[in-house]
Structure formats: C-alpha cells, structure tokens
Amino acid sequence: MPTQIAPPRPHHPVPSEKFPARPTEVAICLGTAALAQAVGFSVALGAFLAGLSISGLPDLHDAHAQLVPLRDASVALFFVSLGTLIDPKVLFNSLPLLGLMLLLIVVGKFLVWTTVVWLFRYPIRTAVLVAAGLTQIGELSFVVVQVARSSGIVAESVFSTAIAASLISILLNVFIVRRTFAWLGRKGADPRVTKSADRALAPVVQ
C-alpha cells in the first residue's frame, strides 16, 4: 500500500489574542525614552535601551512586525521636523558653504572609505561599492550639529547648511549606489578585466 505524505501545513501568523503584548512594546519604548529624557539623557539613548530591553522576547519577530508602522510614521515625522529647521534665505546665502560640505561628504568620504577598505586587502570592486554606500551622513550628524548650535559653537547659517547638506547627500546616495552597481556590472562582464584590475590595484603583501 503506497505511503501517503501529508502536505506541509501553511504558516499562519500569530493571532492577536495569543500575542496580547501588542501595546506593551510601544509602552516600553515610549516610557523608556521619556524616562531617559527625564534623568538628563537623550531620547535616542532611551529608545535604544527600550529596544535592547525587548530584544529577548520569544515573539520578537511578531513584535518587530507590529512596530514597523510606528517606526515608519516616526521617521516621516522626523524628516518633516528637519525640513522645518532649514531657513531658505539663510541657505541661499550659504551656497558656497553648502557646496563645500557636499564635496567633503560625497567625494571625501568616497576616497577615504575606498582607501580604508582597500588597505584591508579587499578587492578594489568591494572597496568602491562600500565607499559608494557611505557617501552620505545621517542622523548622528543632526544630533551633533544641534548640540553644537545649542552650545554656541556654530552659527545658525552653519546649522541650516549642515542639515541641508545631510539631506541632499542622502538623496544623492541612492543615485550614486545605483550608478556604481551599474558601472561595476558592466566592468565585471569580462572576468579577465575584473581579475586583472583587482590584481593590479590590490596592495602588495611583502
């Protein structure tokens, strides 16, 4: 008599009644962030500690899926608030400074990271790809320049220009990564060219 093999059972998401802690993770995150701010630390540090506190939950994947909409909404509000901090008149009067910042961020970081990755004896293709992905500055720069402005270290024009430069670099980074992948994809069509280029540009180990 032939053996019958039962079909695989479909995976069903965990029902909400089996995961009653749906609002608990949100409350932990918001409460920890508020507590960190109340004792003098930054909200970002409190949010990090909140995520660390729920990282050991057995249903972490379900908790993460439920927190994704809140994360996306918070990111949208974050960038909206950044846009309100930029004064167009101040930014227009600081166009040379904006160009210099973008040059240092995009070109400077690209050259630095290409050299660093290459010195660790990775192929030049890998070094270029890593550097292309790092030609931008993110949230940490916002925090640093905000603290510098609050301390009187930088002027309002520098603050607005730094915020604009970071946002523009994030936008440009998408096109830089795409063009880099496309360019290296064409270069990698001939494996002899790729191998010879990597061998010629790789550091020589004595």
Structural domain boundaries in the chain: 18-84, 88-201
Q: How confident is the model at residue 65 (pLDDT cuts 50, 70, 90)?
A: confident
Residue-wise over 109-130: b if at least 16 C-beta within 10 A, else e?
bbeebbeebbeeebbbbebbbb
What does the pLDDT look like over 99-120, one tens digit per residue? 999 999 999 999 999 999 999 9
Q: What is the pLDDT of residue 64?
A: 67
Q: How confident is the model at residue 159 (pLDDT cuts 50, 70, 90)?
A: confident
Q: How confident is the model at residue 193 (pLDDT cuts 50, 70, 90)?
A: very low
Given a cut of 60, whether residue 205 has pLDDT beyond it is: no
- Provide, rounded to the nearest whole percent, the portion of the chain with pLDDT above 90: 27
Residues 6+ apart with CB under 8 A from 152: none
Q: What is the pLDDT of residue 18?
A: 43
Query: What's the CA gap between 154 and 101, in Å, rounded?
Result: 14
